[in-house]
Amino acid sequence: MEIDALYSGIITEHSRSERNKRHLANPTVVRQGLNPSCGDELSLELRCEDGVITDASFVGVGCAISQASASMMTDIIRGKSREEAGALCRAFLDMIRGRELDDATLDSLEDAVALQGVSKMPARVKCATLPWHTLNGAIDDLT
């Protein structure tokens, strides 16, 4: 299978998945994110215990890229410390800005690496980064 086809399969699977699209019971923080270019909104919910994100979910409306990115992100940050989640956020945003990342950093992004091609699609950058910018704000709220 070509890498592009593999990546597009991963994106489609996440965009349709309801697994991470739900409300949390007793979230520690709920943060709203908005893509100003289309008006789509996303609400990110995190439960945090002893500095570790024990669960993460999202609700909201958006295109396939934003929904897939949110689903990938919630999978990745579950079980991570605030600091680790912040580092993943910086790595994802660097990747979407087209910066070179080393293999270990790319591996740490797990399925979200499938969105690397968005760096060459300026109109979709805000879609892919919406959940991650929302996460940045949520991490600040956890302090």
Neighbours of 128 (CB within 10 A): 29
Beta carbon nearer to ligand FES, 64 or 101: 64
Beta carbon nearer to ligand FES, 65 or 73: 65
Supply the minimum distance, in Å, between the C-beta of residue 16 and ligand FES. Answer: 15
Beta carbon nearer to ligand FES, 27 or 62: 62
Q: Does 34 bind ligand FES (CB under 6 A)?
A: no
- List of residues 6+ apart from 116 with CB closer than 8 A: 7, 95, 96
Q: How far is residue 43's CA from residue 6's CA, in Å, rounded to a whole number? A: 28
Supply the minimum distance, in Å, between the C-beta of residue 90 and ligand FES. Answer: 21
Q: Does 38 bind ligand FES (CB under 6 A)?
A: yes
Segment interacting with ligand FES (CB under 6 A) among 11-19, 58-66, 74-82, 83-91 = 58-66
Question: Whose structure tokens read 């270990």?
Answer: 104
Beta carbon nearer to ligand FES, 70 or 91: 70
Is residue 46 within 8 A of residue 142, CB to CB? The reply is yes
Q: Determine the 3-state secondary structure of 28 from DSSP.
A: coil
Tokens representing 123 are 């109109």
DSSP-H helix ranges across the chain: 3-16, 64-77, 82-96, 103-108, 125-141
Among positions 62, 76, 92, 131, the unique one binding ligand FES when judged by CB under 6 A = 62
Q: Does 91 bind ligand FES (CB under 6 A)?
A: no
Question: What does the binding site for ligand FES look like in residue numbers (CB under 6 A)?
Answer: 35, 38, 40, 62-63, 65-66, 127, 130
